[in-house]
Amino acid sequence: MGILLVRIDDPIQRNWNLAGNAIVLFSFRFIQTFLRFPESLYQLELFSPLQFANSDLLPSLGDLLLNTIVITYLIIQFNAHFTFPEQNKGRRNNGFNFMHLFSMLVLCSYFLYTHHIFKSIIINSSISFEAFKITGLSLYSFIGLVIVGLQFASLIFLIDKIANVYKPLAIEKKIALFTSVVIVLVLALSFTGFRISSYSILYFFLIFIFLMLIRQKRDNLQNYSIIVILILLFSVYSVIFITKTTETKERQDMAILAENIANEHDPVAELLLEDMTLKMRKDSVLADMLFNMNVSYQQITKYLQNYYFKGYMSKYNFQFFDCKPRDSVIFDVPEKVLMPCYPFFDDLIESKGMHLPKSNFYYIDNINGRINYLGKFTYENETGEISIFIELESQLLTENLGYPELLLDENFREKPYLSEYSYAKYHDNLLISKFGNFHYSLNRNIYGEKNKEYIFLRFDGYDHLIYNINERNTINTE
């Protein structure tokens, strides 16, 4: 396609051909992205949202790679073959004109797009770009860096081409126009929530001025020293950008992890409770014990412990209440009070419960730093009905580790990303559970203030996020 453009002598015709090529390629990519063809290509992991997903237009790392290749190709062709109207007519103007303003808007907009892609590929992906974490790097890290490299290479080609438009202008006029357009665009985009760092703007300013000065003296960039300087500037900027953006991403991940922990479920326990439900519904021995007034609470407790709450479930403290429809029971809520049994538990389930599928158990959101479940089983005989309500509460300082993982279905094993973090739960300022290698204080007060929902701090050489759920409960992730 580039060869065909070279053979076209008429600059205007060549420009129109360039525009036509761009329309065809962008249209093809748009249709390909939404129709996902060829199917064999889109079955690759590279084209799944597993590694990266940003929007409907950028649903995968593979789509981003193809888009970047297309854009880079078009900008290279633009650099080599496009003729500006000013050049075509042979005019030189030392003052500003529409072409100067328009080309600067295009250039600054493309830099902001490049910045957005660079940031998105870090924030919206599971890919590591930190060189010091060798084990975290992968083929997708390399592909991501190739994408970023192509984006900035195309930016260089675009600046180089547009520098021809600005050649007649004095350097102070170029800086004035550049600064004005950047400020207007950044302020306008800030109302949409778009943010750009000052060092990113400084990098853009440096390469813009550098290339403008080079173009004043040279007709091309084919010089070893120029290329080395551009690579050096890009390398320094990339290291700073990756480091800063990764820190932001880790803070977001810590906040998400803290919120997930605050609403934590136990998938292994819920799987076992499903199986337990099938057995307890048909447990005639338990039913007979509940109806028999001569069987003590301790005997029923021992039976439940021996047949149901052993092994993995022994990590939960449990107690039960057995009652008939008209019975009342003494509850600690928080003081001892006599209340109707059925209505009490029905209200608890209605207000705080979430039913676990295929079971008689409910997840109870008590917001006490522990994992709570409530089970309800009803049995009948010739005398009427009786129900047993079983309360389960995770024990203190358990780490949810140690259960033979090979005995568990793959879907219920520990999540891999948790291995990178440690966390602790505090209730009434006391440590009640923890996970990971960090040695947490037994008292929450050592980590400072509680007047904010999220607090980031540096403690014992590690970054911590303190998530104050309410006055009594805190999550600390590291």
Query: Is 415 part of a structural domain of the chain?
Result: no
Report which residue type is found at 413.
R
Do 332 and 436 fall within a single domain? no
The proportion of the chain whose per-residue pLDDT surpasses 90, expressed as a percent, equals: 47
Do 227 and 103 fall within a single domain? yes
Do 376 and 433 fall within a single domain? no
Model confidence over 141-184: pLDDT tens digits? 999 999 999 999 999 999 999 887 788 888 888 889 999 999 99
Rounded Cα distance between 101 and 79, Å, is 18
Q: What is the pLDDT of residue 223?
A: 76
Q: Which residue would you say has higher pLDDT here, 65 or 458?
A: 65
Do 141 and 179 fall within a single domain? yes
Give the end of a domain, one of 350, 378, 394: 394
For the record, the structure tokens of 361 come out as 């158990």
Q: Which residue would you say has higher pLDDT here, 87 or 19?
A: 19
DSSP output for 364-413: E---SSS-EEEEEEEEEETTEEEEEEEEEEEPTT--S--S-GGGS-GGGS
Q: Which residue would you say has higher pLDDT here, 412 or 109?
A: 109
Q: Dihedrals φ, ψ of 3, to 5°?
A: -65, -40
Q: What is the pLDDT of residue 86?
A: 57
Query: Is 407 part of a structural domain of the chain?
Result: no
Do 75 and 194 fall within a single domain? yes
Query: Is 158 part of a structural domain of the chain?
Result: yes
Q: Is the pLDDT confidence value at 417 over 90?
A: no
Model confidence over 268-311: pLDDT tens digits? 889 999 999 999 999 999 999 999 999 999 999 999 999 999 88
| Dihedral of alpha carbons 80, 81, 85, 91, sign | positive
Rounded Cα distance between 63 and 53, Å, is 9
Helix, strand or coil, per DSSP, at residue 220? coil
Q: Dihedrals φ, ψ of 227, to 5°?
A: -65, -40
Q: What is the enclosing helix (H) or strand (E) of 68?
A: helix 61-81
Q: What is the pLDDT of residue 406?
A: 39
Q: What is the pLDDT of residue 401?
A: 42
Do 179 and 48 fall within a single domain? yes
Strand partners, 465: 456, 477
Query: Is 85 part of a structural domain of the chain?
Result: yes
Rounded Cα distance between 82 and 84, Å, is 7
Do 246 and 278 fall within a single domain? no
Do 225 and 312 fall within a single domain? no
Helix axis angle for 198-217 and 171-190, nearest 10°, is 150
What domain range includes position 445? 420-477
Do 90 and 232 fall within a single domain? yes
Model confidence over 331-376: pLDDT tens digits? 876 678 889 999 999 999 999 899 999 899 999 987 676 889 999 9
How many folded domains does the chain comprise? 3
Give the end of a domain, one of 236, 262, 288: 262
For the record, the structure tokens of 267 come out as 């998938």
Give the end of a domain, one of 262, 295, 329: 262
What is this structure's pTM?
0.72
Do 424 and 388 fall within a single domain? no
